[in-house]
Every structure is written in C-alpha cells, then in structure tokens.
Amino acid sequence: MVVTLEKSEAQIVKKMNERIIKTFLDIIILSELRNGSFSGYDIISYIHNKYQLLVSSGTIYSLLYSLERNNLIEGVWDERKRTYQLTKKGAHTIGTILNANHDIKTFVGSFLKVQ
C-alpha cells in the first residue's frame, strides 16, 4: 500500500510539473532566447532535456508565432531553418519578469501554504 501511495504522489507531482511548464512555456522560451537564437526544434530539445517533457512541435511553433506577432521575438531564416531571437521589447519583457522573481515566488508561496 505504501508503494502505491508513493507512486501516486509521484504521478501527481509529475502532472503538476507538466502543467506548470506548459503554462509558462512563453516565459521559458523568452528566458532561453536571452542566450542566443534558437530554432523551434532547438527549443523542443531544450525543454525535453531540461524538464523531461516532450512538447509537440505544433504547440511550440504556435507559441513562437504568437510571440512573433506580439513583437517579443523575431524569426529569421538561417540557411534552411528559421531561428528566433529576442526583440528589444522581448528582452525588456523577460527582464521585467525575471526581476519580479521575488514577487512571483511570494505570490505562488502564498496560495501553496498549508493552513
């Protein structure tokens, strides 16, 4: 019974991590683009390697197009593939988000506290 409960708890935590990662994919992408330009495939690989989560190409490219429409990133053709880089607006936006790190942690912590 204990093994089943631990396995169930591990599955709950895994699902919660997946949910958080998928919710914040735009921030993850913008944050990673601070290190240079990446293709959609590079981003899929990065997320898979870092978070052990395989995100569909449709999800990633849809999000990249949305970020591009909002002028947060710019896509350019590099030989046979399209790579994405931050725009000034995107760099400012991710900088603001990352500078609010303490506020975000406090907010999330406030509703995760055990009463």
The model's confidence at residue 108, banded by pLDDT at 50, 70 and 90, is confident
The answer to whether residue 2 scores a pLDDT higher than 60 is: no
Nearest-angstrom CA–CA distance, 19 and 106: 20
Is the CB of residue 84 less than 8 Å from the CB of residue 38? Answer: yes
Phi-psi group of 52: left, alpha or beta (phi > 0 → left; psi -120 to 50 → alpha; rest → beta) = left
pLDDT > 90: percent of the chain: 63
DSSP state of 74: E
Q: So what's the pLDDT on residue 4?
A: 61
114 pLDDT above the threshold of 60:
no
Q: Where are the domains of the chain?
A: 2-112
The confidence score (pLDDT) of residue 5 equals 55
Distances from the Cα of 21 to the Cα of 13, 24, 82, 88, angstroms: 12, 5, 24, 25
Residues 48-98 pLDDT 10s = 999 999 999 999 999 999 999 999 999 999 888 999 999 999 999 999 998
Give the span between the Cα atoms of 72 and 94, in whole angstroms.
Answer: 9
Look at the domain 2-112 and name its fold. Answer: Arc Repressor Mutant, subunit A (1.10.10)
